[in-house]
Amino acid sequence: MYQIRPIGATLAAVVLAMALTACGHSPAVQFYSLQPAAANATGAPLDLALSISPAQFPRALARSQIVTRAGGSRVNVDEYHVWSAPLEYEFLRVLGDDIASDTQSDRIAVYPKEAAFKVDYRVTLDVLQFDGVAGDSVTLRARWAIAPATGDAIAVGSFEQTEPAHAATEADNYDALVSAHSALIGDLGRLISAKLRELVNHPEGSSAPGRYAPTAQAAR
């Protein structure tokens, strides 16, 4: 004798099976980390102790997912391509590594780590834009300032640059995008390192607050 199942139970089983099937075909989440630039110091090591303070970041980037621009005022937030750590921390970590490499100083403390040594200078940053279009380019716009251990800034400046992020295939778009992010931080680090070198080597000419206008060579 056949047993008749309730229709509700049968439908629930079908819906559950469909949901499990859909989950089984979801793309794997890919995690990305920014990388420091290759070591390429050209000047003499600097006798320098530095702290890099928390950076002000756009609220739209305060998420684990990688944010890209989609044209006009629209943005994409990708659930399957995410940062391995908060973007602000990744940014500061790589910037600190890049400046340490450029200045050849091992006395650089990066937020949230507190300096275990007496600091000569403090670097503060206000990041206005740090995103791009997958398969196309990434733009970094930031304002930066260098101040002594106590007191007002003695050098300030701005940085705006776009880095190509072209990929051979669409599958490589995010790898190219993240590499472009890293390259831009490297360029910003070289600019700040050049100003630090100027402050250390010629302190008498850089004692007054003012806007620092980097040369094209320093900006790259």
pLDDT, position 10: 52
pLDDT, position 58: 94
Helical (H) or strand (E) element with 216: helix 216-219
CATH number of 30-219: 3.40.50.10610
pLDDT, position 111: 93
Q: Residues 113-136, buried b or exposed e (16+ Cβ, 10 A)?
A: eebeeebbbbbbbebbbbbbbbbb
pLDDT, position 203: 77
3-state secondary structure of 121: strand
pLDDT, position 220: 40
pLDDT tens digit at each of 220 positions of the chain: 545 555 555 555 544 555 544 455 688 999 999 999 987 777 789 999 999 999 999 999 999 999 999 988 899 999 999 999 999 999 999 999 999 999 999 999 999 888 899 999 999 999 999 999 999 999 999 999 999 999 999 999 999 999 999 998 998 999 999 999 999 999 999 999 999 999 998 876 654 443 433 333 334 4
Between CA 166 and CA 174 the distance in angstroms is: 10
Enumerate the β-bridge partners of residue 69. Answer: 75
Contact present, 179 and 154 (Cβ < 8 Å): no
List the domain boundaries for the chain.
30-219
pLDDT, position 12: 54
Ramachandran class of 71: left when φ > 0, alpha when ψ lies in -120 to 50, beta otherwise: left
pLDDT, position 23: 53
Closest CA to 153 of 122, 128, 180: 122
Contact present, 135 and 176 (Cβ < 8 Å): yes
Full-model pTM: 0.81
- Give the tokens for residue 159: 């940085």
